[in-house]
């Protein structure tokens, strides 16, 4: 990332196969170290994942999502991970006709309140 550019945040949505919640959860307790290192090498800073039922929501913070995905296409750590984790995934869903694009930030509670920490 250059000093002038802001990181991209890309939202992804995947759907698990029925009966695969526990396996997916177990496999994501910790991804392989070589994969985590590969993400950093291609400019991915954070990858957050949440689950609601069979729906999995990802938020990826990176320099350039398309470039990162292209660099990972032939990376051995990513190949091994996709072969392993792919058994749990039924499909990926993207915005209608848009493909996978950087998400547009609209609002945050902390941003509105001018805080960066949770108040108890």
Phi/psi of residue 118, each to 5°?
Answer: -70, 135
For 77, the enclosing helix (H) or strand (E) is: helix 76-85
Phi/psi of residue 58, each to 5°?
Answer: -115, 145
CA 56 distance to own-chain centroid? 10
pLDDT per residue over 35-87, tens digit each? 999 999 999 999 999 999 999 999 999 999 999 999 999 999 999 999 999 99
DSSP state of 101: -
**pLDDT on residue 53:** 95
**What's the rounded Cα separation, in Å, for the pair 39 and 110?**
28
pLDDT per residue over 7-31, tens digit each? 888 888 899 999 999 999 999 999 9
DSSP state of 86: G
């Amino acid at each position: 990332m250059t000093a002038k550019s802001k990181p991209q945040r890309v939202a992804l949505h995947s759907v698990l196969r029925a009966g695969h919640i526990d396996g997916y959860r177990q496999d994501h307790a910790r991804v392989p170290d070589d994969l985590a290192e590969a993400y950093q090498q291609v400019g991915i800073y954070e990858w957050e994942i949440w689950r609601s039922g069979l729906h999995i929501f990802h938020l990826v913070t990176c320099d350039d999502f398309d470039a990162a995905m292209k660099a990972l296409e032939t990376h051995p750590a990513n190949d091994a991970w996709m072969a392993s984790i792919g058994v749990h995934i039924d499909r990926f869903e993207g915005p209608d006709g848009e493909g996978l694009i950087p998400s547009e930030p609209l609002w945050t509670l902390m941003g509105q309140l001018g805080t960066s920490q949770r108040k108890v």
